[in-house]
Amino acid sequence: MKQPLELITSPANPLVKALKSLERKKERAETGLFLAEGARIVSEGLAQGWQPETVIIAADMADRPQIADLARQAAKAGARVVAAPERLMTKITQKDNAQSVVAAFRQRHLKLDALPKPKGAPLYIALFEVRDPGNLGTILRTADCAGLSGVILVGTCCDPYSFEAVRASMGSLFDVPFAQADFDSFNTWRKAQKLSLTAASVNGTVRHDGADYQDGAIIIMGNEQAGLPQWAEAACDTLCLIPMRGGADSLNLAQASAIMIYEAWRQRGYA
Q: Are residues 23 and 123 in the same domain?
A: no
Q: Are residues 16 and 123 in the same domain?
A: no
Q: Are residues 54 and 128 in the same domain?
A: no
220 is a domain residue: yes
Last residue of a domain, one of 81, 106, 131: 106
Q: Are residues 81 and 128 in the same domain?
A: no
43 is a domain residue: yes
Q: Are residues 40 and 144 in the same domain?
A: no
Residue of 102, 149, 97 whose CA lies nearest to 126: 149
CB 172 within 8 A of CB 144: yes
Residue 218's domain comprises 112-267
Q: Are residues 123 and 28 in the same domain?
A: no
Last residue of a domain, one of 72, 106, 140: 106
Q: Are residues 85 and 122 in the same domain?
A: no
Q: Are residues 90 and 121 in the same domain?
A: no
From first to last of the 271 residues of the chain, give the pLDDT tens digit: 366 789 999 999 999 999 999 999 999 999 999 999 999 999 999 999 999 999 999 999 999 999 999 999 999 999 999 999 999 999 998 888 889 999 999 999 999 999 999 989 999 999 999 999 999 999 999 999 999 999 999 999 999 999 999 999 999 999 999 999 999 999 999 999 999 999 999 999 999 999 999 999 999 999 999 999 999 999 999 999 999 987 777 899 999 999 999 999 999 999 8
Q: Are residues 120 and 242 in the same domain?
A: yes
**So what's the pLDDT on residue 1?**
39
Q: Are residues 92 and 207 in the same domain?
A: no
Q: Are residues 98 and 117 in the same domain?
A: no
Last residue of a domain, one of 78, 106, 134: 106
SS3 177: coil
Q: Are residues 63 and 123 in the same domain?
A: no
**So what's the pLDDT on residue 98?**
83
36 is a domain residue: yes
CATH of the domain at 100: 3.30.1330.30
**So what's the pLDDT on residue 82?**
97
**So what's the pLDDT on residue 4?**
77
Strands ordered across the beta sheet of 80-84: 6-7, 80-84, 52-58, 101-106, 33-37
68 is a domain residue: yes
54 is a domain residue: yes
What is the tally of structural domains in the chain? 2
pTM to 2 decimal places: 0.95
CA dihedral sign of residues 158, 161, 164, 169: positive
160 is a domain residue: yes
CB 16 within 8 A of CB 84: yes
CATH of the domain at 148: 3.40.1280.10
238 is a domain residue: yes
Question: Distance between CA atoms of 267 and 271, rounded to whole angstroms?
Answer: 9
Residues forming a β-bridge with 150: 124
1 is a domain residue: no
**So what's the pLDDT on residue 170?**
96
- Residue 150 — left, alpha, or beta (φ > 0 → left; ψ -120 to 50 → alpha)? left
**So what's the pLDDT on residue 2?**
60
